[in-house]
Amino acid sequence: MTKTRMTAPRPGRLALAAGAALALLVALPMSSAHAASGSLLYESTTGESLRIDDPILGKCYGLYKAKGASNQTNATATIFFDANCEREWGSLQPGGYSSNFLATLYSVRFGS
C-alpha cells in the first residue's frame, strides 16, 4: 500500500495561480466580444460601393454620402444624418437593408 502525503499549497504558488486566473478572466472579455463580425455594405451618392468590416461596437463610423446599405453584421446598425452619430435616421437589423434612405446619411454606430 502506497501512502500519499498531502501538503498545504505554498503561498507563492497559490498567489501565482490566482494571478494567472485573474489575468485570463480580464483578458478574455476584451477580445472579439467588443466587435461585430461581418460587414456593412453601402453605396454612396456618387455610385461607389463601400464597406465597413468587423466594426467595433459603440464606435461612430463615418459614411461617405450613403444612400443605401446592407447590414451583413451580427449587430444592429444605427445610421445617422450627421457625421457625429447624433441625429438618428433609423436602424438596420442584422441582415437588413435599405436600397434608398431618401436622404444622404453620414455616420453609423453598431450595437444596441
CATH number at residue 67: 2.60.20
Residue 2 lies in a domain: no
Residue 14 lies in a domain: no
Quote the percentage of the chain above a pLDDT of 70: 70
At 100, is the pLDDT very low, low, confident or very high (cuts 50, 70, 90)?
A: confident
Q: In the chain, how many domains are there?
A: 1
pLDDT score recorded for residue 3: 59
Residue 17 lies in a domain: no
pLDDT score recorded for residue 24: 47
The pTM of this model reads: 0.69
Residue 98 lies in a domain: yes
> Could you read off the pLDDT of 12-63 as tens digits, one per residue?
665 655 555 545 444 444 444 599 999 999 999 999 999 999 999 999 999 9
Residue 19 lies in a domain: no
Q: The domain containing residue 58 runs over which residues? A: 35-110
| DSSP type of residue 31 | S
Distances (CA, A) of 60 to 20, 23, 38: 35, 30, 16
Q: What value does the mean pLDDT take over residues 6-11?
A: 57
Asked if 91 and 68 count as a contact pair (C-beta separation under 8 A), the reply is no
